[in-house]
Structure 1
Amino acid sequence: MVSSNDVQRLFLQAVISRRVLSYTLAHVIWWKCIDAVKAADSTLQIPKPREDDRAAWDSFTAKVNESLNPLDLEFRHLHDELSGREMYALVNRKGDEVAQLATGYTPAEIAYFKAIVEQIMLAPHESFSVSSLAALREVNFLKTNMSKTQAEVVLGSFVANGWLLKSKRGRYSLSTRSLLELLPYLKSTYPDEVIECTICLEILTRGVACPTRNCKVRLHDHCFNNYKRIHSTCPSCNETWTSSSKKLIPVGEGAVKEGQDFNRRVRKKQTEEGSEEEDDEEMEESQEPTQAQSQSQKTRGKKDSSADEGMDVDEDDVPKRSQRKSRR
């Protein structure tokens, strides 16, 4: 028997058939679902809201999410960082969100995607992106037989399926779909790296930052454009942003200069004592001496061999090989 609840059922079926949809498209689908239910039973009194009736839309989505709660699903929304459009997707709220990729990818491909996400989140200077070379390099650190040729194909599928974005510069960053579906995972796994827009309070991986030292203000480009129409100073430190000497600092790919590539970074792990330590596997990988270093070590004698290995360890970066220094 047809009822008003069929509107929600039809709507969810339409949403499931799509990956990510805009607010405008979602609203149109909602209208079409109302028309379809009314056509099946003309006696049903289902009001059709106006296009600008945001309260009615919010009430409808709240009912949809209420029906999805037992399934640990959510009809979640987020603004696209490039266009500023409000986007929606049906996402899983239970367990490790990265595991959602298992539907179409092998365990090795999921591990590869997770490794790329880590490099994007740990990218220095809030660049939140990795070069094609760095993305392919991640294959070397995985315990799989995936070749770089296969990795190129998998990377292409990540982009084609909307998990990653690839810019004209050949750099990979997280898409709106990834931010929507992996948001809880990103916040729990990278709490120190996740930043939020000062205006909309949503996650930010591309935008602008206040140039004042130690100021934490970060804005999406679309939020900044709306903000600067009324204000010309930073909402936190009150620094004037109209001065040419105080240019806003880019967040995202714009923070990386052409031809600049960073060392691979590794997320720190918490030990049982509560202190932080680097990934043991990555340390071993980084500590393998080059042929030149081995030759140099032989000429320095046994005393230098028993001394410090000369690892130039940055607090945040993966240990880098450097020239050994004598400790006489």
Structure 2
Amino acid sequence: MASADDVQRLFLQALVSRRVVTKSLARILLKKCVEAVKAAKEDLDIRIPDNDDSVNTFVINLNASLDKLDLEIVPFVDGLTGNQVYVLANRKGDEVAQVASDYSPAELAYFKVLAEMIITAPNSSYCLSSMAALRETQSLKATFTKTHGERVLDTFVARGWLYKSKSGRYSLTTRSTVELQTYITNTFPNDILHCTVCHEMVFRGIRCYTRNCEGVLHNHCYAAYKRARQTCPVCDTPWNGDSEGKLKKVGEGAFVEGQDKHARARRRVDDEDEDEDETPKQEEAPSRLRHRRRGRGKLRPKGR
């Protein structure tokens, strides 16, 4: 027998298959779910959502039901398109969640390596070339061929964990940013930039050209900000006319050819440090101790 609760079930099924939907698509999906349930039982008194507020209210109520499953529908702004989206995020971070993944331990280790290289990429470029990504298959101690790496990379992209640009460079997606936010902020605090306007992590955007200024904005935040002001929100340096062209890029626009070679050399140093005695020596500098802790957080992309 159909009931009003079936609307939540149908909407959740639609979201599970997509993981990330724009708010406009969410409204369409919710309308279709209501219509499907009412078609099964015409006398049900269910209001079809007709604005963003009604969709938001529906999502809030659905989240209350999802809490026990460690799932959450998170409203977010896509860093690539600037669109408002809903992300179905898995908030479970223990060993049970890892077992639930259909990636092997070697594949999970590969994803962790790629994510680390993306987050710590030079010049705040937050991306990794295809060649560098495939080259990292050789650094894994488990048997992991280049062909296997190509196949796994394709699944990371297909499932929304990585984005591959037209230039063939990989970067983090909205899904990976939302689901792995705690891991990223805890493990790489010195490599992450935060938007001066919305205070969320920035992997694509602009930054002030003034030396030592910490003014950083998402592309979409900057587009809205410059309609009201044409100066840096931190140091008041002019951001109009010829000055606007001086703004530094954050993300793939900051990528410099050959930077992946330096990343590879840095990873070799990191690997050597990991093989050393885990007990830090008293005379080691604090920066070295922080360096040793890097990369030991939990990062586990789940399956579908």
Provide TM-score, normalisation by structure 2: 0.81
Letter in 1 for 2:192: V
Task: Provide the aligned length of Structure 1 versus Structure 2.
Answer: 278
Aligned residues of 1:162 and 1:177 also touching (Cα < 8 A): yes
Q: List runs of 5+ in structure 2 lacking aligned partners.
A: 277-286, 293-304
Identity %: 50
Aligned pair partner of 1:91 in 89, 92, 99: 89
SS in 2 for 1:244: helix
Partner of 1:12: 12
Q: How far does residue 203 in structure 1 lie from its aligned partner after superposition?
A: 2.2
Partner of 1:69: 67
Structure with max Cα Rg: 1
Q: How far does residue 96 in structure 1 lie from its aligned partner after superposition?
A: 5.2
SS in 1 for 2:87: strand
Q: Distance in 2 between matches of 1:136 and 1:96?
A: 28
Aligned pair partner of 1:127 in 125, 128, 133: 125
Q: How far does residue 73 in structure 1 lie from its aligned partner after superposition?
A: 0.7
Change (3 A) 1:126 1:229: same
Q: CA RMSD in A?
A: 2.9
SS in 2 for 1:263: helix
Task: Give per-residue Cα distances to partners, 1:237-274, cap 9 Å, x unaligned.
Answer: 1111115256110001111223443333459xxxxxxx
Q: How far does residue 49 in structure 1 lie from its aligned partner after superposition?
A: 3.0
Q: How far does residue 219 in structure 1 lie from its aligned partner after superposition?
A: 1.2
How is 1:35-50 mapped onto 2 (pairs within 5 angstroms)?
35-50=35-50
Q: How far does residue 167 in structure 1 lie from its aligned partner after superposition?
A: 2.2
Q: List runs of 5+ in structure 1 lacking aligned partners.
A: 268-277, 287-313, 319-328
Aligned residues of 1:22 and 1:85 also touching (Cα < 8 A): yes
Q: Distance in 2 between matches of 1:201 and 1:71?
A: 28
Aligned pair partner of 2:169 in 168, 171, 182: 171
Aligned residues of 1:78 and 1:202 also touching (Cα < 8 A): no
Change (3 A) 1:111 1:226: same
Per mean C-alpha deviation after superposition, the further-off stretch among 181-190 and 60-69 is 181-190
Q: Distance in 1 between matches of 2:4 and 2:32?
A: 13
Relative contact order, higher structure (CA 8 A, sep 6+): 2
Q: Distance in 1 between matches of 2:253 and 2:182?
A: 26
Aligned residues of 2:121 and 2:263 also touching (Cα < 8 A): no
Partner of 1:305: none
How is 1:14-163 mapped onto 2 (pairs within 5 angstroms)?
14-50=14-50, 53-95=51-93, 103-163=101-161
Aligned residues of 2:127 and 2:251 also touching (Cα < 8 A): yes
Q: How far does residue 174 in structure 1 lie from its aligned partner after superposition?
A: 0.9
Partner of 2:251: 252
Letter in 2 for 1:26: A
SS in 1 for 2:123: helix
Aligned residues of 1:210 and 1:249 also touching (Cα < 8 A): yes
Q: Distance in 1 between matches of 2:256 and 2:33?
A: 49
Aligned pair partner of 1:210 in 191, 208, 211: 208
Structure holding more helix per residue: 2
Q: How far does residue 162 in structure 1 lie from its aligned partner after superposition?
A: 2.5
Q: Distance in 1 between matches of 2:58 and 2:69?
A: 18
SS in 1 for 2:170: strand
